[in-house]
């Protein structure tokens, strides 16, 4: 569940000397303060949404807003704690890492599949768009399992399934059971070269190899 919210804080930045306060109509001690708001996700990931520096009367709290750039230049760094300012970037970083991790995992899996396609074995199960490999087998976009029946040099003979699906989910269920049975396939085979298999894999028409 996404828990998010916002908060605010006032930081005291030291004395600003005595000056006339128009609200109190008296000479008052003034303080430099920084007022800021922040947003958070899961309380951990924070970022600043608004900030303003004031020279504020010690008694009534009012006073003129100051130029933020000038004050920060004088302070050398922002007085707002780093986790409030940059926590959100940590979240963005984690999301980026997760995406990169996913891409790397998918590349690794592609490399494994390429190795399996380079050296096919009888019984290998290919998850494919059947209609792209056997155009007359099904009359629409169909996922299915094709099984390696025979290998002759660079030519692989594949069995065509009797059943196809419009969703990959159906195929994945069959890979665990039915697709290992002879009755799952129609009689006869189609022949494809190793190069053609790799082309189909590159084009993502051959989606997965199961051995
Ligand atoms: Zn005042």
**Residue 65 lies inside a defined structural domain of this protein:** yes
Range of the domain at 192: 119-210
**Residue 186 lies inside a defined structural domain of this protein:** yes
Stated pTM of the model: 0.56
**Among candidate residues 150, 134, 109, 151, the one with its CA nearest the CA of residue 186:** 134
The edge-to-edge listing of strands for the beta sheet with 45-57 is 4-21, 26-41, 45-57, 65-66
Least confident range of 58-67, 155-164, 167-176:
167-176
Count structural domains, the chain. 2
Residue 60 has pLDDT above 80, yes or no: yes
pLDDT of residue 36: 95
Q: Which comes out higher in pLDDT, residue 140 or 117?
A: 117
Ligand 1 centroid–CA 84 distance in Å is 30
Ligand 1 centroid–CA 93 distance in Å is 45
Q: Based on the domain organization, do 72 and 125 belong to the same domain?
A: no
Q: What is the mean pLDDT of residues 123-137?
A: 89
Q: What is the mean pLDDT of residues 150-163?
A: 95
Q: Based on the domain organization, do 13 and 63 belong to the same domain?
A: yes
Q: Based on the domain organization, do 132 and 84 belong to the same domain?
A: no
As a whole number of angstroms, the distance between CA 178 and CA 165 comes to 14
Ligand 1 centroid–CA 49 distance in Å is 27
**Residue 181 lies inside a defined structural domain of this protein:** yes
Ligand 1 centroid–CA 57 distance in Å is 5
């Amino acid at each position: 569940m996404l828990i998010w919210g916002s908060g605010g804080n006032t930081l005291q930045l030291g004395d600003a000397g005595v000056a006339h306060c128009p609200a109190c109509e008296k000479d008052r001690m003034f303080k430099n303060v920084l007022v800021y708001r922040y947003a958070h996700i899961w309380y951990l990931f924070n970022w600043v949404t608004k900030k303003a520096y004031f020279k504020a009367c010690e008694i009534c709290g009012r006073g003129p807003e100051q130029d933020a750039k000038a004050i920060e230049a004088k302070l050398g760094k922002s007085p707002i704690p780093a986790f409030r300012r940059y926590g959100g970037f940590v979240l963005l970083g984690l999301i980026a890492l997760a995406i990169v991790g996913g891409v790397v995992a998918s590349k690794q899996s592609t490399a494994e599949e390429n190795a399996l396609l380079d050296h096919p074995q009888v019984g290998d199960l290919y998850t494919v768009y059947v209609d792209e490999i056997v155009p007359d087998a099904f009359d629409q976009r169909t996922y299915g399992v094709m099984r390696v029946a025979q290998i002759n040099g660079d030519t692989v003979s594949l069995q065509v399934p009797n059943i196809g699906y419009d969703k990959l989910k159906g195929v994945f269920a069959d890979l665990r059971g039915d697709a290992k049975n002879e009755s799952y396939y129609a009689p006869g085979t189609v022949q494809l070269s190793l190069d053609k298999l790799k082309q189909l894999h590159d084009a993502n028409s051959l989606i997965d190899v199961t051995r």
